Amino acid sequence: MGELDARHVDSSSSRPSVTIGSSLIPVINKLQDILAQAGSELDVSLPQVAVVGSQSSGKSSVLEALVGRDFLPRGCDICTRRPLVLMLENRLPKPGDDRTEWGEFRHLPEKRFYDFSEIRAEIQAETEREAGLNKGVSDKQIRLKITSPNVLNMTLVDLPGITKVPVGDQPNDIEARIRKMVMTHISQQNCIILAVTPANSDLATSDALQMAREADPDGFRTIGVITKLDIMDRGTDARSFLLGKVIPLKLGYVGVVNRSQEDINKNRGIATALAYEEKFFNDHSVYRGLSDHCGIPQLARKLNEILEQHIRMVFPALKADLNSKMGTVLKELQTYGKPIESKMEQGVILLNILTQYCEAFAAMVDGKSQEMSTKELSGGARIHYILQSIFVKCLEEVDPCDDLTDDDIRMAIQNASGARNALFVPEVPFEFLVRRQIARLLDPSLQCLRFVYDELMKISHACEVTELQRFPVLRKHLDEVMVKFLRDGVEPAERMIGNLIEMEVDYINTSHPNFLGGNKAAELAMQLLKSPQGVTDAEGQTSQTSQTARTIRSGLLNGLLPNQGSRPQPNNENHVSSGTKAWIPSLFGSRTSAGEPMACRPFGEPSHSESMPSIIHLREPPSSLRPVQMTENKAVEIVVTKLLLRSYYDIVRKNIQDLVPKAIMHFLVNLTKRNLHRTFIQKLYRENLFEELLQEHDAHVSQRKRNQELFKVLEQSVQALEKVDFDVSSQTSSLGTDASIGLPRIPRTSAHLHTTAGGEIGQVSYRPFPMPSMTKSTA
């Protein structure tokens, strides 16, 4: 058998005949090509077409004529007894194909039918297998896929004819059953209904029109088909039917002349039948002015136009898909940058990257970065937090006396007095102790510097200059320069901090206007010791000194000192005089118990005494000596020392709190910001380094190439789609005026199709079909 050719050449007229979808095949093929190239997921599927009508009204004949091949069982008795779902699949011939078209049944997978008369025989056989031999009917579908380069991807459905009186094995409710079966198919919103009515019956009683109206009350998807115009009663014609004067239909009517039973019996082909049909309409003057309503080619055109409308409806989605793909690819492409072709370009790119990097760094430090987080502190804000909320606050919380016990202070005072007893407020122990406390400020200051350094490193890593991503070698060098540069910045900051602390340690400026001073401290100490609250620290907690002071005070009140009358401790070899004024050091130092100064004589010299009393032996001093018990004057000295310590420490603390952040900002942060660009230029902007620094990853280069190609394809696809859209539109309008075939004109703006669900266009209301599923039909 010959190939299923969508454009059969009519022997008589040599005019290519029109079959369903024939005008759209090139468009759809082009579309599929475009989408396949562009890697689009979308597929263009079309509405299905179902034929509905009473028994033997000519449904199968119409369907066959529309496809352009003989393959369906036809006859004057009931032929279609199971729904036949005919899936057409477009497939372009491939090299090495010996056949280009064939049929396959779902119930016979992998068996290809190349002979279409065998297909008809198999439909009959399969019908009989399910519905019996005696006119029985079944709603179980027969699914047949026809693959050909000359068909569109779409589905046609041949349905059993509506019958009233059961015959053969048909059940009593045959009419209801068939109606239900038919309704199941034609109620689907993407189904175009061909309501077939023979011209020799009354249109007003047409089962097809009645069911079509039920399934499609608005008539947006129903085309009336009047068959058997050739066998109407003499003297009658279908003119008023075709013009919609009997029952109006929005999409109008088409009258056709199919092959008669006699033609079938004589094996007359479709081409001959079409030629006969054309002659019939030409010969009948009554149909001459109704060429738009007559003939299978006209019906095919009408259906094609609906399909074209449908395709145009799909265009916006296709375009949107391609455009969004293009956007994604373009965005990715931008990250790969342009290939560099000359030394000059290398220089420009390198300079740009270095500049952008420094700008990004400065922006992050200054809080002007575009990529500022709203969830957490970043960049410069973190540095500020480190300086103010960590460093300054931490120093604020330090109590210079917290690591000094009263014993420590007492020891320091006593040691500083040397062999004498201190006359006034002990200056030396104060200076010694305050220096020790000031020196403690070095560690947190250096830690603070370290934290800021770490932050700057973090910022440098976060400086993502888009272009930099493609040059890993440059990134590496840049990071190295950055690390060295920051380290270099740390050194002067470190030196400065060291100097600051050293300065403070080196010279204790007791003339500072904010310094409490010895006299005031002594006065305050006395007041504190006298006050019933005792010496309380700033936090209101009673310190160890205040405890001691209270003990002393209570001793004074009772006329007793805590150590009065008590014997010296075994280790406390020193004897300290006591008394209410004892805290004021004695001018003459220690006296003997008799009040006389101790005799001084050289070691080993005997005493000039007549009667040599027995020698009083002193105990050997122990290797480690500790001061004797607390005395009132010692307690006051401790309080005074503490007051002085706190007062002076506060002055220094404030200096350090102010100057260390300044040193860090000046020597490290601001210097980095100021000199980074210059350093990069000095270290990296060298012509002999260009090549090495601007090396790209191989994967990066190939990815860019791939993306460039893909972008080109997508660009071409979008252009091609525009052209196809235009072609479809011009084709639609060239097929005839909208009015002539009863179809409303579709607005040019395809997006409008989506938004208009039944909007008014001109005089005719238009409602597009719902979007079909975007999948190909398979058998």
Ligand X SMILES: Nc1nc2c(ncn2[C@@H]2O[C@H](COP(=O)(O)OP(=O)(O)OP(=O)(O)O)[C@@H](O)[C@H]2O)c(=O)[nH]1
Query: Which residue, chain included where needed, has tokens 């990529």?
Result: 371
- Rule CB under 6 A: is residue 49 a binding residue for ligand X? no
Which secondary structure element, helix H or strand E, spans residue 325, and what is its range?
A: helix 296-336
* Closer residue to ligand X (CB): 11 or 261: 261
Of the two residues 206 and 545, which places its CB atom closer to ligand X in the complex?
206
60 near ligand X, rule: CB under 6 A: yes
Between residues 229 and 481, which has the closer beta carbon with respect to ligand X? 229
Q: What is the DSSP string of 723-754?
A: HHHHHHHHHHHHT--TTTTTPPPPPS-HHHHH
Q: Kindly tell me which of 79 and 638 has the beta carbon lying closer to ligand X.
A: 79
Count residues contacting ligand X (CB under 6 A)? 25
Give the whole-angstrom CA distance, residue 640 versus residue 646. Answer: 10
Beta partners for residue 536, in sequence order: 542
Q: Give rounded-to-5 percent helix, strand, coil for the chain.
A: 50, 5, 40
| Ramachandran angles phi, psi of 198, nearest 5° | -70, 145
For the bound state, the minimum distance from the C-beta of residue 200 to ligand X, rounded and expressed in Å, comes to 9
Q: Which of 26, 39, 75, 758 binds ligand X (CB under 6 A)?
A: 75
Return the DSSP state at 668.
I
Q: What is the 3-state secondary structure (H, E, C) of 90-124?
A: ECCCCCCCCCCCEEEECCCCCCCECCHHHHHHHHH
CA distance 452 to 456: 6
261 interacts with ligand X by CB under 6 A? yes
User: How far is Cα 652 from Cα 648, in angstroms, rounded to an integer?
Assistant: 6
Which of 59, 704 has the CB closer to ligand X? 59
Residue with tokens 């947190």: 444
Q: Is 19 in the site for ligand X (CB under 6 A)?
A: no
CB nearer ligand X, residue 22 or residue 56: 56
- Check binding of 78 to ligand X (CB under 6 A): yes
Integer Cα distance of 228 and 401 in angstroms: 117
Among 23, 150, 260, 563, binds ligand X (CB under 6 A): 260
DSSP type of residue 166: -
- Among 251-259, 441-449, 472-480, 526-534, which window interacts with ligand X (CB under 6 A)? 251-259
Among 45, 48, 57, 633, binds ligand X (CB under 6 A): 57
Q: Examine residue 764 and tell whether it contacts ligand X (CB under 6 A).
A: no
Distance of CA 150 to the CA centre of its chain: 44
58 lines the binding site for ligand X (CB under 6 A): yes
CB of 107 to ligand X, least distance (A): 20
Stretch near ligand X under the rule CB under 6 A, chosen from 228-236, 483-491, 648-656, 706-714: 228-236
- Least distance between ligand X and beta carbon 63 (Å): 8
Three-class DSSP category at 50: strand
Cβ nearer to ligand X, comparing 44 with 194: 194
Min dist CB 140 to ligand X, Å, is 16
Show contacts with ligand X in window 141-200 (CB under 6 A): 161
Instruction: Considering only the stretches 51-59, 107-115, 120-128, 494-502, report the one whose residues sit in contact with ligand X under the rule CB under 6 A.
Output: 51-59
Q: Name the minimum Å distance from CB 117 to ligand X.
A: 16
Site for ligand X in 80-99 (CB under 6 A): 80
Give whichever of 198 and 380 is closer to ligand X, judged by the CB atom: 198
* CB-nearer residue toward ligand X: 76 or 348: 76
Kindly state whether residue 230 participates in binding ligand X, applying the rule CB under 6 A: yes
CA–CA dist 342, 338 (Å, integer): 12
List 23, 56, 421, 578, residue binding ligand X (CB under 6 A)? 56
Q: For residue 55, state whether it binds ligand X (rule: CB under 6 A).
A: yes
Q: How far apart are CA 173 and CA 177, in angstroms?
A: 6
Q: How far apart are CA 47 and CA 216, in angstroms?
A: 15
- CB under 6 A: which stretch of 69-77, 234-242, 494-502, 738-746 binds ligand X? 69-77
Neighbours of 436 (CB within 10 A): 16
Nearest approach in angstroms of CB 62 to ligand X is 7
CB atoms closer than 10 angstroms to residue 4: 23
Could you tell me the smallest distance in angstroms from the CB atom of residue 149 to ligand X? 27
Structure tokens given for 73: 């069982």
- Judged by CB under 6 A, the stretch of 3-11, 108-116, 259-267, 423-431 that binds ligand X is 259-267
Q: Which residue do the tokens 């300290």 mark?
A: 576
| Residue 257 touches ligand X, criterion: CB under 6 A | yes
- To ligand X, the closest distance from the beta carbon of 77 in angstroms equals 7
**Cα distance between the two ends of the chain:** 23
- Residue 662 near residue 497, CB atoms below 8 Å: no
CB 197 within 8 A of CB 225: yes
- Residue 86 CB, nearest approach to ligand X (Å): 13
Q: Alpha-carbon dihedral of residues 74, 78, 83, 85, nearest 10 degrees?
A: 0
Instruction: Kindly state whether residue 483 participates in binding ligand X, applying the rule CB under 6 A.
Output: no
| Closer by beta carbon to ligand X, 47 or else 53 | 53
- Amino acid letter at 639? V
Contact 163, 178 (CB under 8 A): yes
Residue 631 found at the interface with ligand X (CB under 6 A): no
Q: Is 228 in the site for ligand X (CB under 6 A)?
A: yes
Query: Using the rule CB under 6 A, which residue among 147, 258, 309, 545 binds ligand X?
Result: 258
Taking the least distance from each CB to ligand X, the nearer of 296 and 395 is 296
* Contact flag: residue 735 with ligand X (CB under 6 A): no
Q: At what angle do helices 632-664 and 427-439 cross, to 10 degrees?
A: 30
Shortest CB 285 distance to ligand X, Å? 19
Name the strands in the sheet holding 253-255, side by side, starting at the edge strand that comes first in the sequence: 102-105, 142-148, 84-90, 154-158, 48-53, 191-198, 222-227, 253-255
- Show the site string, 262-281: x = touches ligand X by CB under 6 A, - = not: --x-----------------
Nearest CB to ligand X, comparing residues 263 and 488:
263
In whole angstroms, how close is the CB of 198 to ligand X at the nearest point? Answer: 7
117: number of Cβ within 10 Å: 12
Query: SS3 letters for 460-502?
Result: HHHCCCHHHHHCHHHHHHHHHHHHHHHHHHHHHHHHHHHHHHH
- Applying CB under 6 A, among 45, 90, 227, 732 the residue interacting with ligand X is 227
164 and 175 Cβ atoms separated by less than 8 Å: yes
Asked if 325 touches ligand X (CB under 6 A), the answer is: no
Please give the residue whose beta carbon sits closest to ligand X in the complex.
161
**Interface region with ligand X, contact rule CB under 6 A, candidates 30-38, 252-260, 397-405, 550-558:** 252-260
Closest CA to 776 of 22, 37, 29, 42: 42
Contacts with ligand X, residue ranges (CB under 6 A)? 53, 55-61, 74-76, 78-80, 161, 227-228, 230-231, 257-261, 264
